[in-house]
């Protein structure tokens, strides 16, 4: 029997590919090469001859057109190799639940970790499906190894069914997407596509052509250290100052109080000592100009706290991460139209949904390659309660197969 997308996913998630935002190199972790090299071997085993793995851990490959007498635009499919730094991706032990019949899912490696139906309404849509989780001690890595598996399943399907018409198809697997650097060394000319799609999404039917615009912010506080026994009127405790800054963040702009198109200011890490402390934030808004407002909010908080601690040094640094891809895709809508048609043909009910996050497609679209996003059936990314429906992932593969035919026919 031919290998299934489930077989591929179970193999890939067991390979630790966690990225590291503290490392400035690309890839940020050498272990991402472990999966990249395996994919190169598998692509060659499937008969793909044009396969390249570069020094930055980008895998590019070409499925040649089977329509030699017809000019078809070259399109690409992309997924990222790395998993999020939030939770360990080492020694993943996937749990396969066949014919899921509803109810909470207690994870065997840590029974205090439960995937609750009350927190996962999409579980009800997956009654009868095959569900994959972890044992509760790690994340699963469905984000984005489900995307990787679906692309590899597409390659296998096209090789097994040469009657399916398609033009040249470029395959790309990228490192470091989870730390916002998935396209930092991406060679757009080498990839050479008119349109591309990331496979890195949610439930069946959900298609994405708009993401947050994103910046990173760092507040660094420098105080003065001295023995606490003689600290009066001398010590400047940067930890205390850090707490005052955090307490002033607007609660109505926290991730836990927002949804839909609402923006947020999210402190993701804080560390410090009396002498020096630092807070790291991610700033998100679907309107790029809203990031300026968020910067002003942080500046206002700093000014207020600075007045209380005039001898402290409080600095704010803002770094651009990615921008909403909506406007660029609206100027090049045909590839999105084809995607909608492909999803309909797969038997799902497509709908456009904003991503409260970003994909490699955000930056690629900004760079000039229109790149909307396609669902995989995954949920609870970056957590120990991550899960994916294999039935949904099979619909992803079906959508990709439909999509290459639509491009060929159009």
Yes or no: say if 248 and 301 are a contact pair by the CB < 8 Å rule: yes
CA distance 81 to 58: 9
Yes or no: say if 207 and 390 are a contact pair by the CB < 8 Å rule: no
**Which residue in the list 16, 42, 144, 177 is annotated as catalytic?**
177
Q: Measured between alpha carbons, how far is residue 165 from residues 68, 77, 406 in Å?
A: 11, 17, 9
Strand partners, 266: 282
Who's near 187: CB < 8 A, 6+ residues apart? 54, 58, 60
Radius of gyration for the alpha carbons in the chain, expressed in angstroms and rounded:
23
Question: SS3 letters for 336-384?
Answer: HHHHHHHHHHCCCCCEECCECCCCHHHHHHHHCCCCCEECCCEECCCCC
Q: Is 82 a catalytic residue?
A: yes
Helices (H), 131-227: 142-160, 188-191
* Residue 91 falls in which region: left (phi positive, over 0), alpha (psi -120 to 50) or beta: left
Q: What pairing do the DSSP bridges indicate for beta strands 378-379 and 387-389?
A: antiparallel
Q: Is 119 a catalytic residue?
A: no
CA distance 116 to 121: 9
Q: Tokens 């396209």 label which residue?
A: 183
**Which residue in the list 42, 82, 135, 386 is annotated as catalytic?**
82
Helices 334-345 & 390-409, crossing angle to 10 degrees?
130
Q: Catalogue the active-site residues.
A: 82, 177
């Amino acid at each position: 029997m031919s290998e299934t997308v489930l077989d591929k996913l179970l193999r890939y998630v067991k390979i630790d590919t966690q990225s590291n935002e503290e490392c400035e190199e690309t890839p940020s972790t050498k272990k991402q090469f472990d999966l990249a090299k395996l994919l190169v071997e598998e692509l060659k085993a499937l008969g793909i001859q044009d396969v390249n793995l570069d020094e930055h851990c980008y895998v590019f490959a070409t499925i040649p057109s089977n329509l030699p007498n017809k000019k078809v635009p070259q399109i690409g499919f992309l997924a990222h190799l790395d998993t999020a730094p939030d939770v360990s991706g080492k020694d993943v032990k996937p749990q396969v639940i066949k014919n899921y019949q509803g109810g909470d899912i207690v994870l065997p490696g840590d029974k205090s970790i439960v995937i609750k139906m009350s927190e996962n309404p999409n579980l009800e849509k997956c009654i009868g499906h095959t569900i994959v989780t972890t044992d509760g001690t790690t994340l699963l890595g469905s984000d984005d190894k489900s995307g990787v598996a679906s692309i590899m399943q597409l390659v296998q399907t096209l090789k097994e069914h040469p009657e399916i018409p398609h033009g040249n198809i470029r395959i790309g697997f990228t490192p470091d997407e989870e730390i916002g650097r998935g396209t930092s060394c991406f060679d757009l000319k080498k990839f050479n596509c008119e349109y591309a799609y990331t496979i890195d999404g949610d439930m069946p039917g959900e298609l994405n052509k708009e993401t947050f615009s994103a910046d990173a912010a760092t507040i660094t506080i420098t105080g003065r250290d001295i023995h606490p026994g003689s600290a009066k009127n001398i010590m400047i405790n940067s930890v205390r100052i850090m707490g005052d800054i955090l307490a002033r963040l607007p609660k109505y702009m926290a991730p836990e109080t927002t949804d839909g198109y609402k923006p947020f200011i999210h402190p993701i890490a804080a560390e410090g000592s009396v002498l020096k402390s630092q807070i790291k934030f991610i700033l998100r808004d679907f309107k790029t100009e809203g990031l300026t407002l968020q910067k002003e909010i942080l500046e206002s908080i700093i000014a207020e706290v600075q007045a209380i601690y005039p001898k402290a040094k409080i600095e704010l640094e803002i770094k651009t991460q990615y921008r909403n891809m909506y406007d660029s895709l609206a100027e090049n809508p045909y590839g999105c139209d084809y995607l909608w048609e492909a999803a309909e043909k797969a038997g799902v009910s497509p709908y456009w949904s904003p991503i409260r996050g970003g994909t490699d497609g955000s930056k690629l679209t900004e760079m000039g390659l229109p790149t909307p996003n396609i669902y995989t059936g995954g949920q609870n990314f970056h957590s120990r309660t991550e899960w994916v429906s294999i039935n949904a992932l099979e619909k992803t593969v079906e959508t990709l197969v439909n999509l290459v035919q639509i491009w060929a026919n159009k």
